[in-house]
Chains A and B, each alone.
Chain A
Amino acid sequence: MAFPSQTDQLDQAAVQALLDLGGQELLRELVDLFVADLQPRLDELDRAITEGDNIAAANVAHALKGSCLYLGLSSLADVSARMENSQRVNAQQDAQPLLAELHRCAENATSLLKELVSP
């Protein structure tokens, strides 16, 4: 298995730990589950922020962060953590810039994961 070229955003130790646990089959399964859930999560986050539902936004960001940590998606995990924190602590702050950054990171993460599990 070849690690994607943009390795600065992928924690190789985290990916290797998954490979050690269940091999390529488990990694592919986890990536499929993550990718399938990603767009609905982003949609829910967009909705929650638009409607000012800070608790829902924080919870979605929190769940996203957890998945990212397992898959070694450091950048997306970091942005998700900042989003969660901003929604819990400083809910009045304009979330749009961070939301745009999160969308960019999510798109990049999807590319990285597809490259990671491509045959």
Chain B
Amino acid sequence: MTKTAVKKAPAKKAAAKKKAPVKKPRAVICDDDAMSRQLARSALERCGFEVLAGVGTALEALQLVMTYQPDVLMLDLVLPAMSGEDIVIPIQRGAPDTTIVISSSHDPSAAIHNGASYIVPKGQTKRLEEVLTMLAARITG
């Protein structure tokens, strides 16, 4: 009986391991342009991300990131009221595991200096896919 129990245990473990769903990396998009948000959503989903939300202001993005601690924030820089650059440092402090991907046609020097990890100029769709594919692979291990 003991032998049987010992033999069955690994099989149960293997079955449980097989059934475990693969956890998708999660992302938030912040861009005040609806078209750019839609494009970012498509690129993220194609690369295996779950998009938690797409918002148009830096304040909304900051609140979402602090609450949900997503794996990735795709962030435009020129935004109404508060700029994207303004939330890079608070996110670095409050959500240190969130990787910030700047997607902007604005000069990203300040955002890089503040700690943004990746810069993808607007219009570079292929490059965006490359970066997101690499990040998804790194996050899911």
Contact = CB atoms under 8 A, between A and B. Distances in A.
Interface of A: 14, 17-18, 20-22, 26, 29-30, 33-34, 37, 59, 62-63, 65-72, 77, 81
B35 A67 contact: yes
26 contacts: A14-B123, A17-B125, A21-B39, A21-B42, A21-B125, A22-B42, A22-B46, A29-B38, A30-B35, A30-B38, A30-B39, A33-B34, A33-B38, A37-B34, A37-B35, A63-B33, A65-B105, A66-B33, A66-B105, A66-B123, A69-B121, A69-B123, A70-B35, A70-B39, A72-B123, A81-B105
A26 B121 CA distance: 20
Contacts of B36: 66-67, 70
B122 interface: yes
A70 B124 CA distance: 7
A29 to B, nearest CB: 6
B55 interface: no
A31 B129 CA distance: 20
Given A17-B126, A66-B104, A26 B42 contact: yes
Interface string B41-79: 011001000000000000000000000000000001010
Contact of A34 (B35, B80, B104): B35
A70 B122 contact: yes
Contacts of A26: 38-39, 42
Interface in B73-121: 76, 78, 80, 104-106, 121
A115 to B, nearest CB: 18
Contacts of B39: 18, 21, 26, 30, 70
Contacts of A71: 35
Contact of B46 (A21, A37, A63, A67): A21
Given A59-B80, A66-B104, A21 B35 contact: no
A83 B105 CA distance: 14
B44 to A, nearest CB: 11
Interface string B5-34: 000000000000000000000000000111
A34 B37 CA distance: 11
